[in-house]
Amino acid sequence: MSDPGPTSLQPGLPAAAARAGTRPAAGARSALPGPPSFARTVRPDAPGGAAPEGAVAVARPAVERILRGPTGLGTTSLRLRRKDREEPAAPEEPTASGAPAPGSPIPGLYHHPVPEPDQARVAEVSERIKRWAVDEVQAYPPEWEDQFDGFSVGRYMVACHPDAPAVDHLMIATRLMVAENAVDDCYCEDHGGSPIGLGSRLLLAHTALDPLHTTGEYEPAWLASLQSDAPRRAYRSAMEYFVRDSSDSQADRYRHDMARLHLGYLAEAAWAQEDHVPEVWEYLAMRQFNNFRPCPTITDTVGGYELPAELHALPAMQRVIALAGNATTIVNDLYSYTKELNSPGRHLNLPVVIAEREGVSDKDAYLKAVEVHNDLMHAFESEAAALAAACPVPTVLRFLRGVAVWVDGNHYWHRTNTYRYSLPDFW
């Protein structure tokens, strides 16, 4: 059964055009057939868009944390509010010995706990995403079902997008997340992936996001190619749904972020092919591209509003987004450390690179990677607070809050995904 999608509030008028009050030229969007657009719950004139009742309350502590700003000499002017703020979790003290209990946070990792994700939403997203993966795009063969379920993508996306007005909005993010992981698993990693020939596979798959514009003679072969493997089917379909409910500039933002991601995959593959361990800063540069960034940066589409392109492009906003993406991705390096240690070959992650390039023990390297993460988190929060103070536009504040809750939800998912991850015994 295909994902039905609710009826548009303005039948026949794509969401972006409805928001802008204009009708796009025929053929301005992808020529590919796709799913119906669902209703936007946002009034075009509502600054920052309307969140469902309760959603803002859930997200409120995060913006207060952003608005709290940095502490220390000379930073008072960056702090907008001083009351009712959420405090970060108290740092976990290392246990006497052994690995922390399953589901525990990494000792000493600076993070913010999130409320348990809404169980009704998790159940509905989980059910709908499986129908989409199996029936619409055949994303995985039956023997991978346990791994698909163990990934818990519904719980992940509900935790990361508490301000999504409805499940339809959550489905936008969830389909993209499954598609992004299908590409990573099947092209790059342990489900048939390899560095050999990766550039060609990624480029051709990228055309499912950023369509080929070619002549009538060659278009049918390209269209057929988009159905020829699970990663491309998943990218194509997830992008179709996304484009129906995003503005043109949000779609362009996403394509740019995915091009960044693919560039990062290629650098990682090049080093794997040569069994090369980069310097730590070089690794961090690669991981800034091979990064979760495309997920938090759709927070406004999933929230049913738009951060205007010129505000997204602000250098200060770009820095905040990069710092947040880097912190979320180093969280992955830390929680997936033992999984990657046990996988075939050498899998680069920040602790492995620090140990190799700085000549320290595995434990010291891991603990240093925790510090790098914490520094990135603190920088993200300071810079977000400074931007919020300098540019207190409702869409900017809501977007910053959306990125911050994505960071927290991502940590929650990594911490609690004991099917996939376990911690080393460094404490």
Which of 237, 290, 326, 422 binds ligand LYHC5SXD (CB under 6 A)? It is 290
Q: Give the interface segment with ligand LYHC5SXD, choosing from 88-96, 152-160, 176-184, 239-247 (CB under 6 A).
A: 176-184
Residue 329 makes contact with ligand LYHC5SXD by CB under 6 A: yes
Closest approach of Mg ion to the CB of residue 149, in Å:
20
Which stretch, 30-38, 118-126, 180-188, 277-285, contacts ligand LYHC5SXD (CB under 6 A)? Answer: 180-188
**Smaller CB separation from Mg ion, 181 or 332:** 332
Contact 391, 320 (CB under 8 A): no
Per-residue contact string for residues 336-365; x = within reach of ligand LYHC5SXD by CB under 6 A:
x-----------------------------
41 binds, among ligand LYHC5SXD, Mg ion, none (CB under 5 to 8 A by kind): none
Task: State in angstroms the smallest separation of the CB of 126 from ligand LYHC5SXD.
Answer: 17
Which residue's structure tokens are 């390096």?
A: 333
DSSP state of 217: T
Instruction: Enumerate residues 6+ apart whose C-beta is below 8 A from 272.
Output: 195, 345, 346, 348
Closest CA to 179 of 294, 40, 349: 294
Instruction: Choose among 165, 404, 397: nearest CA to 303.
Output: 165
Q: In the complex, which residue's CB is closest to ligand LYHC5SXD?
A: 336
Which residue among 39, 109, 251, 261 contacts ligand LYHC5SXD (CB under 6 A)?
261
CA distance 268 to 260: 13
For residue 89, the one-letter residue type is: A
Q: Residue 351 in contact with residue 337, Cβ under 8 Å?
A: yes
Supply the minimum distance, in Å, between the C-beta of residue 179 and ligand LYHC5SXD.
9
How many other CB atoms are found less than 10 A from the CB of residue 342? 9
Choose the binding region for ligand LYHC5SXD from 70-78, 178-186, 229-237, 297-305 (rule: CB under 6 A).
Answer: 178-186
Nearest approach, Cβ of residue 116 and ligand LYHC5SXD (Å): 22
The CB density around residue 407, as the number of other CB atoms within 10 Å, is: 27
CA of 42: how far to CAs of 36, 52, 156, 305, in Å?
A: 18, 10, 24, 7
Instruction: Please report, as ranges, the residues that interact with ligand LYHC5SXD according to CB under 6 A.
Output: 177, 180-181, 184, 261, 290-292, 294-295, 329, 332, 336
